[in-house]
Structure 1
Amino acid sequence: MARLVVLALALMLTSSCFASQRIIGGRPAYIEQYPSLVQVEEYTDGVWWQKCAGNILNILYVLSAAHCFEGPYYDPLFHRIRSGSTYRHRGGNINYVEKEFNHPSYDVAAPLDGDITVVRLSRPIIYSNTVGRATINYHGARILDNIPVVYAGWGDTIGEYAPPEQLLDVQVYTINNDLCRERYMTLDTPPNIITRNMICAGVLDVGGRDACHGDSGGPLYDGKILIGIISWGEGCANATFPGVNANVASYTNWIAETAV
């Protein structure tokens, strides 16, 4: 059993150089604060492990990141959702995935552009005080610069795949898209292109707060509104390169048409 766990962890660390599992500088939180937040688990070598996160759209659909559902274990058979739990890998309710719908523009115009997916579950979710639907941003909504926003998830806390047992959240700030683009253009290797379908968020030139490995597919909130889906970044909590999120407002119409 120990060998299987080690193999699973090795796969988690090597499956992507950027964010296939992507809170640093955060504080403990409770699922009652974020009832639409779920864990996305993947079955690898006989072990279920929390790979990413997601957001409940309605009783049958969850919104997450497309890169969480690609690779050798892309088949829905290898994915399930854990809702209603504050704690990683335990408690809550399990729902298996029936089908995954990656956005058709995913990875087309630029690496990780369109990094968004709608996941259909095999049976309905039951709402409660710990399980509820997200309120997503309206289509075409403008994202203002330097506003406080919040990441939440069960991802790495130090940048070396050290996930917490308890849900964490952290406040960061939106960063001007053009400024973020200029920063990432200095990198020689992809992903290094910021598009208008992305939101950059962090504490620029300071660092220390960010989403990280295991947070991908999870939420970026402006108040109670889901404005972004955690996608990728250059490392975690980097002072120069902020975290990058899929801009929900670029895809709201498609999400509404797909999650029915």
Structure 2
Amino acid sequence: MEYLGYFASILIGISLGLIGGGGSILTIPILVYLFKIDPENATSYSLFIVGVTALIGSYNHYLLGNLKLKSALYFAFPSVISLLFVRDIVLPNTPNHLFFIHNFDVTKNSLIMLIFAILMIFASISMIRKSNSDKNAQEISFFQLSFIGLMVGFVTGFLGAGGGFLIIPALIFFAGLEMKQAIGTSLFIIFINSIIGFGGDIINGVQLDYKLLLIISLIAILGMFIGTYLSKKIDGSKLKPAFGWFVLIMGIYIISKEFFYKL
């Protein structure tokens, strides 16, 4: 399963390189099911892996002129505040065993995976269906952009998710960015959120296998270069529905494994 996990790690970078998001949607299930890492610890691994990979991608987009720094900072600052609140206060004070539904013990780990699966399903629907999201907003709404950043910070903090599938539509609608600019700016925001969240985990004493973390990160970075190269050859908008179906299947699988299988 480990070798399959290493192979699957390439998809993390490819996804980020192609559509500027989706990396964390793949990272958590890969870490939990293929590398057998505890779901709460997997969120820490995910923050670093996705963050470092997004940094490489954002730099490539910066060279191409697709990184819009002002929009990124308006989004990132409130996002970081809510992220640190969740990582430093909410998660450490959440008990491991929450409640029972009949004979089913709802634990913190199972709740993390179930919420993540539900988020995956909603994200997949937004990727599958056609939208007019390529149309630019008439005016930049930095207040709305900051508010959405605050919400995405909760997602990033609780689930170790970069939130690219939420960030990109927000940048298109509220910052008036084109698709490629939204992807480049999204990667920079993901980098800021993820690395600060990971740094907070290290300060709080989270124990990680750094050798495994480095290997997966390097493989994901390789995937990022592949994804960036493919993005120049393939229309990313055509890949989004296909990726959406893949995410939908994974979300349904996680729900069935974490809930129905244990009933």
The interval holding the TM-score normalised by the smaller chain is under 0.3
Higher relative contact order (CA 8 A, sep 6+): 2
| TM-score (norm: length of structure 1) | 0.25
**Comparing both structures, which one devotes a greater share of its residues to helix?**
2
Please tell me whether Structure 1 or Structure 2 has the larger radius of gyration of its CA atoms. Answer: 2
| TM-score (norm: length of structure 2) | 0.25
